[in-house]
Structure 1
């Protein structure tokens, strides 16, 4: 447990610094792009993240789970097969992108070079994902922490340098912002690959036991495919969400320009502030996937129960403090971006969305470690359908406008959190009766 706490605290400390830098990045973007440019940037960002997701193929998750569950002698052989799989994924996605991207309409309102800029992400993300998964599985969180901090710091440095150097039009400014994002990923990729190569050579000098490529692919695919499906669904819905929100607002009587401005305040200001404390949840996720996987493989259900209780208590403590600060200091916080009372009101009304989001992230790690990715996917589908329905019907109403959008977001995350928690409790033997099943033998429950 000590290694878990140390690794988590290291990630939290590094992530806090990274999020502070990310906060400065969003402030720089808001000041340079303005409300309209920020709306355009936040609209294209989910599509960029979709390319990022497809390129990673969730290998950090599947490889870390494999590393945590298997002995060291199997690691070298597994990584060789994983590298071959990454090459295949990169080639397939690169060819597909060359044919598909010219016909994707979301890029029509941006600089033509944006289409091809995102293609550069494919090989960068594919190979860095293997290194991330290896370091996560070995619980070498220092390297993950350095990579995350380095990415944010480089992005901020590039933005400040490029925007101070010249004056740009809105479309060119958005292109420059994306260049800074992808440029920082490239530098992080070089760092991770260098560190991975050193350890890969060390593994070769230790006793090695070869395993078949079919076995490795089956093991990795069993986690990567459903997890990618879950993340792909989330990425697709995140890509659709800006257009759904703006369409609903237009239906409620706002102009298209006003709807874009309002979405820029929601996503670029309120959600940037609200997601700031989520670095703690993401740090827990990175640590929990290999830890839960190992405990579940060893049938150590008492540890799984203790771990869940501790994670829930920690999340409640920091989450409650965070949303209280958002509600009390909403106007001073949002004024760091824009002097807008609307943005402050969005931040205050979204407190349930942020609080339960902090719970959902570590619970997803639990579901992955317990082999319940399919359940996580089903929960996400139902909660998204519920949320989008409320967002459209209430957001398009003249009486609600953005208030209806916020109600839909809050309702969806509450449903998702409840389904995740009840499923985890059932799997690890937590009941809500007077007498629980804590004293049952260590057996795998189906």
Structure 2
């Protein structure tokens, strides 16, 4: 009905699987960060984030674009009933990512000390960086296999692999903390990084076993790699170049933040603590609900790639409009929860009021943050990765300039201003490009104005409810449970009353769970 190219039941099941996996992963991640902050404090969490800002650059060089390329090539090959080419694409993807990851591993291991001394200004970060390096090849292989599973609509496999990786990482780190009880910040970071590397190894082994099991059904088709390497490079290189450049700029940005805070008057420990609160506490909570959308974003890439390859422009426009509508309706709800209940959320997760204050300040950006993620995935599926590359690079370059200029003068307020400017700038460019490509009409009243009103009413009612006994005596975590349980149903009810959600939307959701009706040939060609 909306996505006439795909089996909607499979799409829904895969979305639910990836959503559940992503949500569970983010819950584990926040719990893990609470554990880390309890053990090493906000300043230690800041150092942990700083080390990972460098490691993420190595990850980008090793894996960026490969998973997307494998997903698109396998999806297109299976749509053309060419399993041999699909197998060849996976093999070429693994070969490319392994080559890059081994080079990145060697560079990171050999240059860890200069990076720690000169770039991070933290000599104790060298050994943790070296501990992370061996995990890169395992991450590279897992990225290629994840691309295959997403293209084949086997969402359960990568979802369980990521959960297994996170459980292994946390389990090993917590066990080592209990056994070794590290007394120094360097020792604590070594334990954390060892857990991360071990988790990547476990995940890679699990993914490899699942792939070998799954690919047996294609045993009658010989792998054909001819043209696959060029296809991977054509898709991956723009993303790889863009993500590498963006993450270089992001690493520079992360180095400039604590430096700028020190120039603004904070001492080294205080600056690192502020950095830890922002990057290690606030941002993970802010993006936590986006787990409910990240699965949809991942699955939209192969769906849009197939639709684009078949020239189904009307199907693309309908699917894009529906994805944008649902993303906005969801994100306005989350924005309202952060605006109204940020203090309780901050105290519940981190026992830290500053976290709640920053969550409330940044909450108005949630709709643009979440929508930008969905829009970016659709653009990639429509072969518009070069546009995303230009927008992301421009955004990152501007962030570096603004951080360098504003934080030494205005401190934390300067950083908040940069986040606002960057989010609005990047999202505006991406949304404008998608509207041009997909030709989707934006319904401002039903998608923006009415949801904002419904959000304000539902949050206000729950806030009033909490002022009356016995709710006024609730502890912060009890308030959060009540807020999260009561606000969404109220919001949904108001959406129905004002017409932002209606019978057509319910029919669309129900159509996802049923079988796709057979379309007449003439109708199929009309798109």
Would the TM-score normalized by the shorter structure come out above 0.5?
yes
Question: Following the alignment from structure 1 to structure 2, what is the Cα–Cα distance between the partners of residues 355 and 166?
Answer: 44
Residue in structure 2 matched with residue 305 of structure 1 by the alignment: 317
User: What's the offset of the Cα at 1:24?
Assistant: 0.9
Query: In the comparison of the two structures, how many residue pairs are matched?
Result: 432
Moved over 6 A (4+): 441-444
Superposition pairs of residues 177-192 of structure 1, within 5 angstroms:
177-192=192-207
Residue in structure 2 matched with residue 55 of structure 1 by the alignment: 62
* 2:393 matches 1:419: no
User: What's the offset of the Cα at 1:306?
Assistant: 1.4
Residue in structure 1 matched with residue 104 of structure 2 by the alignment: 93
Residue in structure 1 matched with residue 280 of structure 2 by the alignment: 268
1:165 is aligned, of 174, 179, 185, to 179
Residue in structure 1 matched with residue 367 of structure 2 by the alignment: 355
Residue in structure 2 matched with residue 78 of structure 1 by the alignment: 89
Indicate how the Cα distance of structure 1 residues 112 and 78 shifts in structure 2: closer, same or farther if over 3 A, else same.
closer
Asked which structure has the greater CA Rg, the reply is 2
Question: Following the alignment from structure 1 to structure 2, what is the Cα–Cα distance between the partners of residues 153 and 210?
Answer: 36
Question: Following the alignment from structure 1 to structure 2, what is the Cα–Cα distance between the partners of residues 5 and 178?
Answer: 36
Residue in structure 1 matched with residue 114 of structure 2 by the alignment: 103
Contact 1:36 1:264 in 2 (8 A): yes
Question: Following the alignment from structure 1 to structure 2, what is the Cα–Cα distance between the partners of residues 171 and 209?
Answer: 47
Indicate how the Cα distance of structure 1 residues 46 and 294 shifts in structure 2: closer, same or farther if over 3 A, else same.
same
* 2:222 matches 1:208: yes
Superposition pairs of residues 21-420 of structure 1, within 5 angstroms:
21-70=28-77, 71-104=82-115, 105-106=118-119, 108-168=122-182, 169-203=184-218, 205-208=219-222, 210-212=224-226, 215-397=227-409, 400-420=410-430
* 2:434 matches 1:428: no
Contact 1:44 1:106 in 2 (8 A): no
Indicate how the Cα distance of structure 1 residues 10 and 309 shifts in structure 2: closer, same or farther if over 3 A, else same.
same
Computed over aligned residues only, the root mean square deviation of the Cα atoms, in angstroms, reads 2.4
1:18 is aligned, of 20, 25, 33, to 25
Contact 1:31 1:337 in 2 (8 A): no
Deviations 1:59-78 (A, max 9, x none): 21100100111132322233
Query: What TM-score do you get using the length of structure 1 for normalisation?
Result: 0.90
User: What's the offset of the Cα at 1:405?
Assistant: 0.8
Unaligned runs of 5+ residues in structure 1 are: 434-440
Contact 1:117 1:179 in 2 (8 A): yes
Deviations 1:363-383 (A, max 9, x none): 111111111111111111222
Question: Following the alignment from structure 1 to structure 2, what is the Cα–Cα distance between the partners of residues 172 and 99?
Answer: 20
Deviations 1:151-195 (A, max 9, x none): 222222223222233321211111111211221111111100111
User: What's the offset of the Cα at 1:142?
Assistant: 0.7
Indicate how the Cα distance of structure 1 residues 295 and 164 shifts in structure 2: closer, same or farther if over 3 A, else same.
same
Question: Following the alignment from structure 2 to structure 1, what is the Cα–Cα distance between the partners of residues 442 and 213?
Answer: 49
Deviations 1:317-370 (A, max 9, x none): 221222222222222222245443322211111113433221111211111111
Deviations 1:40-84 (A, max 9, x none): 111111111222222214221100100111132322233333343
Question: Following the alignment from structure 1 to structure 2, what is the Cα–Cα distance between the partners of residues 338 and 13?
Answer: 24
Residue in structure 1 matched with residue 462 of structure 2 by the alignment: none
Contact 2:113 2:126 in 1 (8 A): no
User: What's the offset of the Cα at 1:442?
Assistant: 8.3
Contact 2:46 2:272 in 1 (8 A): yes
Deviations 1:391-441 (A, max 9, x none): 3433322xx4211211110111111111101101111233679xxxxxxx9
Contact 2:55 2:132 in 1 (8 A): yes
Question: Following the alignment from structure 1 to structure 2, what is the Cα–Cα distance between the partners of residues 420 and 43?
Answer: 28
Query: What TM-score do you get using the length of structure 2 for normalisation?
Result: 0.77
Residue in structure 1 matched with residue 477 of structure 2 by the alignment: none
User: What's the offset of the Cα at 1:198?
Assistant: 1.9
SS of 1:416 mapped into structure 2: helix
SS of 2:266 mapped into structure 1: coil
User: What's the offset of the Cα at 1:316?
Assistant: 1.4
Question: Following the alignment from structure 1 to structure 2, what is the Cα–Cα distance between the partners of residues 188 and 211?
Answer: 26
Contact 1:295 1:301 in 2 (8 A): yes
